[in-house]
Amino acid sequence: MRILVIFLLLFQVVPPSANRGKDKEDAAAATQTLAVVGHHGHAYVGQTGGMLIHDVSDPIRPKDVSWFPLPSAVSDIVIDDNHAFLAAGTRGLVIVDIANPAEPVELGRLDTDGKVKRVARSGRHLFLADGSGGLLVVDIEMLEDPRVVARVSTGGDLRAVAVGGELLAVAEGHGGARVFDLRRPDNPREVAKLETRFAARDVCWIGDRLFVAAGSEGTALYEPQVSTRPIEFLPPVRSAQHVACGARLIAVSNLGSAIQLFDTSESRSPRERSRLRVHRSAPIGRAGFDGTHLWIAADVAGMGLLDVSNADEPERLLPRAREFKVSY
């Protein structure tokens, strides 16, 4: 318990401001961080109970800006210049005006039959991983009134969705992974059912290569336009749960508090460049790239931040403690 308390303090889990309210302060220790997205000097943090916005213009000294409460967990966030699209579980899709980050305002909402876990965007369309509700295609031309224009049934609990150019990939847990053609985004056409021997947990794209978090198998690499079979498996630390793709780097979040960085630029086979470990009391969740920064959601411990401009020696920016360390 002592280690956990110290670790929480290191991650700076504090109430964001008076407008977050005493009830939120009392519940701070139980709050889980599920997603972190960096955008134009701010970090948008998906948590159980809403979205927290930080000013990270000085990334090692984040400042709380505002709190957007919801009666559900925010497990994914997509940002454009003035809007945040939230995957809000039983609350569905929530669209927030963030033109003034200090005063986020709800613009629209879409109730769904399942629990919205992830969201991806291509132009005027959003693609929702709605759990047992399958894949939903949502037209957001009218932000105040988002409309479902297509539904695709899935073979399992739809966990993740990712857009790569004109292709869309979905992770369906024990149902595997599939790829769709998005040349008509309001009518996705399945082009590949990938061969899997694992539960597909997450997906992301770099160019025409697809990376699938495959648990104890590691991270499966595919070229879906060439073959439905995996080209190779990137070995895990323990069990690959989440994948994030940058311009050339892949961050793999492992069960048991470890992130691996793989480089795709030097050869056909991605090379592991470094590993990041965190104490098991604060397990690593999803990560996301913002240029050369890697934001990390770390469950009850809040958020972490690495400068990965040198993938062999990532610089720890948050938190500034030895428990959060590069070990390989």
Residue 79 falls within a domain, yes or no? no
What separation, in Å, do the N-terminal and C-terminal C-alpha atoms of the chain show? 27
Q: Find out whether 208 and 166 touch, Cβ atoms under 8 Å.
A: no
Q: Find out whether 247 and 300 touch, Cβ atoms under 8 Å.
A: no
Residue 162 falls within a domain, yes or no? no
- Mean of all residue pLDDT scores within the chain: 88
Residue 235 falls within a domain, yes or no? yes
pLDDT above 70 coverage of the chain, percent = 86
- List all residues 6 or more positions away from 210 whose beta carbon is below 8 Å from its beta carbon: 164, 169, 177, 179, 194, 203, 204, 221, 222, 223, 224
Counting the structural domains of the chain, the total is 1
Residue 15 reports pLDDT greater than 60? no
User: At 240, which CATH number?
Assistant: 2.130.10.10
Range of the domain at 276: 194-328
Nearest to 105 by CA among 74, 88, 83, 80: 83
Helices and strands per DSSP (H, E), number in the chain: 2, 28
Residue 24 reports pLDDT greater than 50? no
Residue 223 falls within a domain, yes or no? yes
Residue 283 reports pLDDT greater than 80? no
- List all residues 6 or more positions away from 176 whose beta carbon is below 8 Å from its beta carbon: 155, 156, 193, 194, 196, 200
Query: Residue 305 corresponds to which amino acid?
Result: L
Residue 92 falls within a domain, yes or no? no
Nearest to 97 by CA among 54, 144, 129, 64: 144
Residue 182 falls within a domain, yes or no? no
Q: What is the pTM of this model?
A: 0.89
**In this predicted model, what pLDDT tens digit does every residue of 113-134 receive, in sequence order?**
999 999 999 999 999 999 999 9
Residue 243 falls within a domain, yes or no? yes
Q: Find out whether 33 and 298 touch, Cβ atoms under 8 Å.
A: yes
**In this predicted model, what pLDDT tens digit does every residue of 52-102 receive, in sequence order?**
999 999 988 999 999 999 999 999 999 998 999 999 999 999 999 999 999
**In this predicted model, what pLDDT tens digit does every residue of 297-325 receive, in sequence order?**
988 878 889 999 999 999 988 876 544 54
Residue 313 falls within a domain, yes or no? yes
